Amino acid sequence: MLHIVKTVQAIAEAVQVYSNSDQLILIEEAVYAANPQHKAYPLIQGLNIAVLQADVEARGVANRVSPSAVIVDYSGFVNLTAQQPKSITWQ
């Protein structure tokens, strides 16, 4: 399953149902959590994480994204949705 997470607050809910075969993509405000210094980062550390490039750049945090997170463009986002049989959006 692809977990599309829009807010930092929604991360806690998403990780409760996350399984090893899942992918999590942080978009919009949730991209801040990809920073290892962010308070929510421990919740996603070690998970299969991607972040949307446009949102990272819009917020000026490209240099703060964890090296373990994959930065994807819109085409990469589409590929993630195609790779997973289902998706859910967390707000």
Q: What is the pLDDT of residue 45?
A: 96
CATH of residue 65's domain is 3.40.1260.10
Q: pLDDT by residue (tens digit) across 15-42?
A: 999 999 999 999 999 999 999 999 999 9
Find the length of the chain: 91
Q: What is the pLDDT of residue 58?
A: 98
3-class SS of residue 44: helix
- The answer to whether 66 and 41 are in contact (CB under 8 A) is yes
CA-only gyration radius of the chain, Å: 12
Residue 24, Cβ neighbours under 10 Å: how many?
23
- pLDDT bin (cut points 50, 70, 90) of residue 90 is very high
Q: What is the pLDDT of residue 2?
A: 98
Mean pLDDT, rounded, for 60-82: 97
Domain that holds residue 64: 2-89
Count of structural domains within the chain: 1
